[in-house]
Structure 1
Amino acid sequence: MHVFYTPDIQNHTELPDEEVTHAVRVLRLQVGDRVTLTDGKGNFYRAEISTVTNKRCLVNILEIIPQETLWSGHLHIAMAPTKNMDRTEWFAEKATEIGFDELTFLNCRFSERKVIKTERIAKILVSAIKQSLKARLPKLNEMTDFNKFITQPFSGQKFIAHCYEGEKPLLKDILHPGEDALVLIGPEGDFSEEEVKNAIKNGFIPISLGRSRLRTETAALVACHILNLQNQ
């Protein structure tokens, strides 16, 4: 099944330039061929190609394909990007395959990467929803200062994973299925003690992701999987 992403789908829809390249030059699709579209908002559409040129591909929508809800609640991962961008990109791809709703990058005291280009991450998210047949494209936010982020309103459950001593229940044991959830994941050097204290003051609950020592991107993926699995 050939799946294409276009955020604005009408009865007669023109594919975005990057999707035209794949449809026309790679797959060599022709007028009359059937394709599947997703708007990234939870919908799949069955369509038929009506016009093809080297630079344009137009389709007619035939029907909406009914979709079951794969998980409940709004699942948000906020993480410090890794020094090696390949690892952050790996997380973005795999987390999308699992299924979540929002990704925010955090600028923390011990962050080794202070700048991130979200354009490439955005393309990875789109590719991953098509590959894994997900109809919900995660919202991607620009990098945000940690102390600013933790003061922003969030009506759901809020958690922070850190490596300091103290009482930290397992995420899977205190997560309330069906509710919105946000998990903070720190950089390779962890959050600072002050950051942890500030997060707790702002309603974040310290949690453990298990006994294993995890890299940043692995911890974020484990958190994502727990959120998704508990909300199915």
Structure 2
Amino acid sequence: MAIFDKKRIPLKMQLFYYQNTFENTFHLDQDESKHLIRVLRKSKGDKVHFTDGNGCLLTCTIIDDNPKKALLRVTERQYSPQSDYYIHLAICPTKNLERMEWMVEKATEIGVDEITFMVSEHSERPNLKMDRLEKKMIAACKQSLKTRFPKLNPIRQMSELVIDKTFDAYQRFIAYVDKENDRHLFDKAETDRAYIILIGPEGDFSQQELQLAFDHHFLPCSLGKSRLRSETAGVIAVHTLQLKNNLKII
């Protein structure tokens, strides 16, 4: 399987999602077939692109443009390797589902690798529908031409996440509002690392939670002078880590 350069992906390319990329020919279900043939007006012989969300990019040719069961043949497989850094966002969800959907969508478009929702002392009652969030995430990946989909985790206790040995090799951050916590994430982050950053609820983390994080080597960081909503802070954190690593490339 060839390796492709993300920088050479045409911005006008349309990307579709199909899980079983090992097949050489495959049928789309009725909804996807209708969208491809009726809405996008694709026809027999046209080339379209699919991903499995695990780094595989398929170039396919439509061999049967049936709007109820379109048939496609794979003509080329390419593979996107993992990047040199990894961004894990752990965030306390708000009660408002739409705000969390917006956050997942935008963080995905910018480039997050993993999202974990967590409950802290000051959390509001979470109202999450993981299937809806996953659909938003997939749509955002297709929109932003990403062949690697983020991992979306169910809710965990903040205290449990902080002591998890999985993150021992990560550069660990906790963002919160305090006039003495004025060193920006951009300045503290190293390049080419795996990161986990904790974003608290709108009531922020408790002092006990902050101390627990510090005791487990989480570094305090600022996301700027403004007081942000939780979902805005999550998006800014992901963007900051992306910017830090992409500026290095430039």
Give the structure-1-normalised TM-score.
Answer: 0.90
Instruction: Give the corresponding residue for 1:140.
Output: 152
Instruction: Give the corresponding residue for 1:84.
Output: 96
In the alignment, the residues of structure 2 paired with residue 17 and residue 105 of structure 1 have an alpha-carbon distance, to the nearest angstrom, of: 33
1:87 shift after superposition: 1.4
- In the TM superposition, 1:2-151 aligns within 5 A as 2-10=14-22, 11-15=24-28, 19-65=32-78, 72-151=84-163
Contact 1:43–1:67 under 8 Å retained in 2: yes
Gapped regions of structure 1 (runs ≥ 5): none
- Cα distance change on mapping 1:16 and 1:150 into 2, 3 Å: farther
Question: How many residues of Structure 1 are paired with residues of Structure 2 in the alignment?
Answer: 231
1:14 shift after superposition: 3.5
The SS at the match of 1:231 is: helix
1:77 shift after superposition: 0.5
- In the TM superposition, 1:154-169 aligns within 5 A as 154=167, 155-169=169-183
1:2 shift after superposition: 3.0
Contact 1:6–1:16 under 8 Å retained in 2: no
Q: Give CA-to-partner distance per residue, 1:113-161, whole Å, 9 cap, x none.
A: 3341111010011101111111221110011111111121212101000
- In the TM superposition, 1:202-213 aligns within 5 A as 202-213=216-227
The SS at the match of 2:153 is: strand
Instruction: Give the corresponding residue for 2:7.
Output: none
In the alignment, the residues of structure 2 paired with residue 139 and residue 55 of structure 1 have an alpha-carbon distance, to the nearest angstrom, of: 31
In the alignment, the residues of structure 1 paired with residue 93 and residue 32 of structure 2 have an alpha-carbon distance, to the nearest angstrom, of: 28
1:20 shift after superposition: 3.5
Q: Which segment drifts farther, 87-96 or 8-17? A: 8-17
Contact 2:95–2:126 under 8 Å retained in 1: no
- Cα distance change on mapping 1:68 and 1:97 into 2, 3 Å: same
- In the TM superposition, 1:165-204 aligns within 5 A as 165-204=179-218
In the alignment, the residues of structure 2 paired with residue 20 and residue 113 of structure 1 have an alpha-carbon distance, to the nearest angstrom, of: 39
Instruction: Give the corresponding residue for 2:5.
Output: none
Q: Which segment drifts farther, 21-30 or 203-212? A: 21-30
Letter in 1 for 2:136: I
Instruction: Give the corresponding residue for 2:232.
Output: 218
Contact 1:5–1:19 under 8 Å retained in 2: no
Gapped regions of structure 2 (runs ≥ 5): 1-12
In the alignment, the residues of structure 1 paired with residue 45 and residue 210 of structure 2 have an alpha-carbon distance, to the nearest angstrom, of: 57
In the alignment, the residues of structure 2 paired with residue 123 and residue 62 of structure 1 have an alpha-carbon distance, to the nearest angstrom, of: 27
Contact 2:51–2:58 under 8 Å retained in 1: yes
Q: Which runs of 4+ in 1 moved over 6 A?
A: none
- Cα distance change on mapping 1:226 and 1:16 into 2, 3 Å: farther
In the alignment, the residues of structure 1 paired with residue 92 and residue 35 of structure 2 have an alpha-carbon distance, to the nearest angstrom, of: 33
Q: Which segment drifts farther, 106-115 or 140-149? A: 106-115
Instruction: Give the corresponding residue for 1:228.
Output: 242
1:13 shift after superposition: 3.0
